[in-house]
Chains A and B, each alone.
Chain A
Amino acid sequence: KQEVTQIPAALSVPEGENLVLNCSFTDSAIYNLQWFRQDPGKGLTSLLLIQSSQREQTSGRLNASLDKSSGRSTLYIAASQPGDSATYLCAVLETSYDKVIFGPGTSLSVIP
């Protein structure tokens, strides 16, 4: 059974720092991996989508990598800003295409 974990559970950094969020999954038979951002009480906003055949994706200050063989993905945020404060979730779509498994999320706080 696929399990997705995220480390750390919470992170507090001063503004301007570069940071890395980690996502691990137990079964490498995935179709893709997606990173989301969730603000308190709000919906999930898609940040980056990495297909299983890809190694990384970039959008602005965000870069996500995928190492399927080791079951790991990282989300790199450059030059963090207070507006980046949110919970970040990763999710994998299994190759059976019927289930998306979410990690528990990392709560990020960027201090001005």
Chain B
Amino acid sequence: EAQVTQNPRYLITVTGKKLTVTCSQNMNHEYMSWYRQDPGLGLRQIYYSMNVEVTDKGDVPEGYKVSRKEKRNFPLILESPSPNQTSLYFCASWTGLNTGELFFGEGSRLTVL
């Protein structure tokens, strides 16, 4: 089954404690992206990657890092989380220029105390 898998789905942490949210897709997509969703602000792109070892900033990259060492994985790293990073995070991958269809993971709800 084609899917995008995120872990953890729920996480409560404290300010400053480094954490990683993993994302994996099994569709051999080249493009992957991270979004955060906040009430009243909608979905905003954090980082995206067009291929292995190619990453670029989205609209709200501050406080986040990503890496793309293999095609299937695109982890999101919060080096020193702060309360304003409390949000619902989504990873997505897309089919590329064939159809441009986006597939989303189930989301990771992060709370930073």
Which residues of A are at the interface with B, using a C-beta cutoff of 8 A? 31-32, 34, 36, 41-46, 49, 51, 89, 91, 93, 97-100, 102-105
Contact = CB atoms under 8 A, between A and B. Distances in A.
Interface of B: 31, 33, 35, 42-43, 45, 48, 50, 56, 58, 88, 90, 92, 94, 97, 99-107, 109
Nearest to A105: B42
A46 B100 CA distance: 12
Contacts, number: 60
Contact of B103 (A31, A41, A46, A93): A46
Contact of A46 (B33, B50, B88, B101): B101
Contacts of A103: 42
A34 B33 CA distance: 16
A99 B58 contact: yes
Given A41-B88, A103-B42, A98 B102 contact: no
A44 B42 contact: no
